[in-house]
Amino acid sequence: MTENIIDGKAFAAGLRARIADGVAAFVAKAGRAPGLAVVLVGENPASQVYVRAKHKATIEAGMESFEHRLSADTTQAALLALVAQLNADPAVDGILVQLPLPRHIDENAVIAAIDPDKDVDGFHPVNAGRLATGIEGFVPCTPLGCLMLLKDRLGDLSGLNAVVIGRSNIVGKPMAQLLLAESCTVTVAHSRTRDLPAVVRAADIVVAAVGRPEMIRGDWLKPGAAVIDVGINRIPADGGKSRLVGDVDFVSAAAVAGAITPVPGGVGPMTIAVLLRNTLVAAHRNADVPFEA
């Protein structure tokens, strides 16, 4: 890898190894393994891949994985009853309901039903509020992973101009809050932003979470900028196949950026590693064992 490429895969592997050590230490103190419950409703193929990957990573870290696969016609009441059961189960430290849910289920109602102290995805409004007000809670895994990569590469972020492109509750908004908490000057861009290239050109840090293949080009960037590409887009490739690309046009951007995450192998592997970290933190809190990061 060339020097300016941020190897998220290697960073995530290191983080997972440290988490596995942390899990072993937790088991020695608490007499049980941390437990993560993952709930999948329906047969969305991408969700099935994510849930399988989360299960494997949880086991590899030495944690207990509780998988609940429900049929696509599960009622909202049945799902809420399962969430209530998991909230009350002392073996379950973290609860993750895989999104998207089938259309007949109100996602917000389900997220709100999860105990905020088991909400290892950090999507509960209480955790969003904690993040916005600087109270310790759970932070969504993907933006927290992006922040870890940035701090590892740049060190102190204070005073840097950061532009986050995208304002979803899952990525863009929490990313902006995290960068603000690091004392960056933060701009949040979205589909109504005027002259996005000019906004991006002012940034020392660019986080792209848009969902549009290769939209951000090298000639939009300030030379030396750090670029974090959250996008995962599948586009047609030669021979009737497909390939994954980010929201950033990697080749042109890598020629200008001071640091850049590739797709795949950048932000993607961080998400599950941070989920494991959040679960380990939850287990310490639930068992009243101090967490040493």
Footprint on this chain of ligand NDP (rule: CB under 6 A)? 142, 165-168, 170-172, 189-193, 196, 209-212, 230-233, 267-268, 271
Is residue 47 marked as binding?
Answer: no
**Least distance (Å) between residue 91 CB and ligand NDP:** 27
State which residue, 115 or 247, has the beta carbon closest to ligand NDP.
247
Q: Check if 98 is active-site.
A: yes
Q: Is the peptide bond before 45 cis (omega within 30 degrees of 0)?
A: no
Q: Which backbone phi and psi does 259 adopt, to 5 degrees? A: -155, 145
User: From start to end of the chain, where are the E strands?
Assistant: 35-41, 64-70, 94-97, 161-165, 185-189, 205-208, 226-229, 233-236, 242-245, 259-260
Provide the residue count of the chain. Answer: 293
User: Which among 93, 115, 119, 121 is annotated as catalytic?
Assistant: 121
Q: CB–CB of 95/103 below 8 Å?
A: no
Is residue 52 marked as binding?
Answer: no
Rounded Cα–Cα distance for residues 192 and 181 (Å): 25
Helices (H) and strands (E) in the chain, counts: 10, 10
Q: Check if 121 is active-site.
A: yes
**Least distance (Å) between residue 203 CB and ligand NDP:** 14
State which residue, 82 or 206, has the beta carbon closest to ligand NDP.
206
State which residue, 33 or 148, has the beta carbon closest to ligand NDP.
148
Token digits for 256? 């200008």
**Least distance (Å) between residue 168 CB and ligand NDP:** 3
User: Which among 54, 115, 118, 177 is annotated as catalytic?
Assistant: 54
3-state secondary structure of 185: strand
State which residue, 82 or 259, has the beta carbon closest to ligand NDP.
259
**Least distance (Å) between residue 221 CB and ligand NDP:** 15
Going by C-alpha positions, the residue among 189, 194, 191, 261 that lies closest to residue 225 is 261
Q: Check if 54 is active-site.
A: yes
Residue nearest to ligand NDP as judged by C-beta position? 168
CB within 8 A of 288, min separation 6: which ones?
A: none
State which residue, 82 or 189, has the beta carbon closest to ligand NDP.
189
Rounded Cα–Cα distance for residues 247 and 237 (Å): 16
Q: CB–CB of 100/106 below 8 Å?
A: no
**Least distance (Å) between residue 128 CB and ligand NDP:** 14
**Least distance (Å) between residue 272 CB and ligand NDP:** 8
Q: What are the residue ranges of helices labelled H in 7-60? A: 8-30, 45-60
Going by C-alpha positions, the residue among 11, 7, 9 that lies closest to residue 260 is 7
State which residue, 113 or 199, has the beta carbon closest to ligand NDP.
199
CA 237 to chain centre: 27
Is residue 228 marked as binding?
Answer: no
Is residue 69 marked as binding?
Answer: no
User: Known binding site: residues?
Assistant: 166-168, 232
Q: Which sequence positions are flagged as catalytic?
A: 54, 98, 121
User: Known binding site for NADP(+): residues?
Assistant: 166-168, 232
